[in-house]
Structure 1
Amino acid sequence: MARQVRGKLPQSIDETRALLEAQDYLAGTALATVLFLALRMKRPLFLEGEAGVGKTEIAKVLARALDRPLIRLQCYEGLDVASAVYEWNYPAQMLEIRLSEAAGMVDRQRVESDIFSERFLIRRPVLQAISTTAGGAPVFLIDELDRTDEAFEAFLLEVLSDFQVTIPEIGTIKADEPPIVIITTNRTREIHDALKRRCLYHWVDYPNAAQELEIIRRKVPGCSAALSREIVAYVQRLRTLDLFKNPGVAETIDWATALTELDALALDPEKVADTLGTLLKYQDDIARIEGTEGSRLLGEVKAELLAQG
């Protein structure tokens, strides 16, 4: 397996995959390929998929592996430029004006130039991401972009095209080196094609059984091999049902951790019912699995694993 030098960008798909795996993130060839290309081409990577499949974790892992700062813009409804890009430190500006007046400074142009300078500028995530840092270009995570409105999405076009921000009082601030941009969305609404065209795209799916078993082995080392197999088989079957919210990888890890803390050696109806709150997050889903359907699933899992030996 190719070795990855910490802080250096991977030089191949194999190195990219090894970089993620060294941080206990298991990536398939398709994900490793598109991530490698995004790094080489200096293009944003647009990750789409269900909540809980590990999209956000990719940015965190990448920042750790490359020893780069992680700057996260958590998106939400109503997000605006003042919260995402920059704002002026108005209290400090007012104090500066008062002090200038008290000192008898009457040059209005000079005062205005002083208060609209870098020292009164509060840098929010977008501006931080395009600012020069000693450790190299940061990893810039734009998380859950689908939660914002189309106006903010349109604003990001300038940032993702030229990696620059225009501040009327100062001018245009442009990145010396483009940040490594990871954009995630849970697809609660469609993102405009104009933004997608600026990115490379990848759909992040749920892991298969073998991948999820390996994830538990790495993340919950205290969980026995037998229990891990039952947990993965049960979760994989749950995802085939028409639930309001399927359990993600994070929930699988939480469930394995909870059962390990309870010294469980195997799944049984009582243990499943008592710990469903770590796996499912909606009462309708929990009520459905607490009933006969949950028992049926557990029976199928036990029979399947017994047949496999």
Structure 2
Amino acid sequence: MERPTLSQDELARSLEATGYLADPELATTAFLAMRMGKPLFCEGEPGTGKTSLAKALAEALGLTLIRLQCHEGIDAAQALYDWDFGRQLLHLRALEAASDGHLDAEQAEKSLYDERFLLDRPLLRALRTAPCVLLVDEIDRADDEFEAFLLQVLDEASVSIPEFGEITARQPPITVLTSNRTREVHDALKRRCLYHWLEHPDLAREVAILHSRVPGIGDALAHQVATAVRGLRELELLKPPGVAESIDWAGALLALDRDVLDAQTAAHTLGAVLKYHEDTDRVLAAGLENLLAS
């Protein structure tokens, strides 16, 4: 299977068909990353649609999405490959039983590192799946050592497994890296990528997103939800709501058969949009009537 080739306009329309409404700058950067064969590095506040972009790209292109979720302490074994020790042990016992005490140790050791015992982790799976979309999510959570290791894999689109040999991708994966900027990612990685900073959408685009992702929502309710969420983002909250929370709030209101957002309904449904008790207290203290009136 060859990687799909779309024009810039075709890619934008394909993303929109999945429900992801990219602004012109982001659509252009995504197109250039694909055309130039470079990773796309997306940075921004949580909830601005970085992860969703990779999912939408995979859906729009009809490709498999392979996700590597980074976290503190992640290492190459968790990201690249491992050996199925349990199956290797069973295999070794079977060899011992069949050899009747005449087991060739060298041949037995070689047979332990057969492909059937190789466990693909996300990076190796992406190299062996051609083509695909590789999402390296929240790279800022990983440490410097892992970042340097990832840099080598992305540069060469191959990996050498000492016991097995070298594995090279037939086609490099379409790679999207995301960062919430909890720490600065090194320039060496950024230089190899096309970069885009994602902001929260403006009011008109957030309303359009709600219409796209929440079927049946009325225009008045979509405007109320989008406006209220923008007001919440202006408060000093521990976790300002992202687009996903806007969609959840609108969905919750529709599930309650509401066509307007009033203060009482907002108070009862804040759990769809706020995820910390302190944030809820702060919003209630500020006054929901003032928030909705704005």
* TM-score (norm: length of structure 1): 0.90
Task: Indicate if the aligned counterparts of 1:10 and 1:19 stay in contact, CA closer than 8 A.
Answer: no
RMSD, matched Cα: 1.5
1:35 to 22, 30, 34: 30
Map 1:1-309 to 2 at 5 A: 8-11=4-7, 13-104=8-99, 105-131=102-128, 133=129, 136-300=130-294
Partners of 2:209 and 2:6 in 1: CA distance = 23
Partners of 1:90 and 1:143 in 2: CA distance = 28
SS state at 1:202 partner: strand
**Would you say how many aligned residue pairs link Structure 1 and Structure 2?**
291
SS state at 2:215 partner: coil
The CA deviation string for residues 14-61 of structure 1, in whole angstroms up to 9 with x for no partner, is: 222112111111111110111111001111111111111111111111
The CA deviation string for residues 67-120 of structure 1, in whole angstroms up to 9 with x for no partner, is: 111111111122122221111111111122222222224322211111112111
The CA deviation string for residues 158-177 of structure 1, in whole angstroms up to 9 with x for no partner, is: 11111111211122211111
Report the residue type matching 2:60 in the other structure.
Answer: A
* TM-score (norm: length of structure 2): 0.95
Identity %: 50
Partners of 2:111 and 2:270 in 1: CA distance = 59
Report the residue type matching 2:269 in the other structure.
Answer: T
Partners of 1:176 and 1:47 in 2: CA distance = 25
Q: CA deviation at 1:293?
A: 3.5
Q: CA deviation at 1:215?
A: 0.7
Partners of 1:298 and 1:252 in 2: CA distance = 14
The range that moved more, 103-112 or 191-200, is 103-112
Partners of 1:181 and 1:265 in 2: CA distance = 40
Partners of 2:40 and 2:254 in 1: CA distance = 36
**Runs of 5+ in structure 2 lacking a partner?**
none
Report the residue type matching 2:174 in the other structure.
Answer: I
Partners of 1:43 and 1:260 in 2: CA distance = 41
**Runs of 5+ in structure 1 lacking a partner?**
1-6, 301-309
The CA deviation string for residues 184-203 of structure 1, in whole angstroms up to 9 with x for no partner, is: 11111111111111111111
Instruction: Between the two structures, name the one with larger relative contact order (CA 8 Å, sep ≥ 6).
Output: 2
Q: CA deviation at 1:142?
A: 0.7
Q: CA deviation at 1:291?
A: 2.2
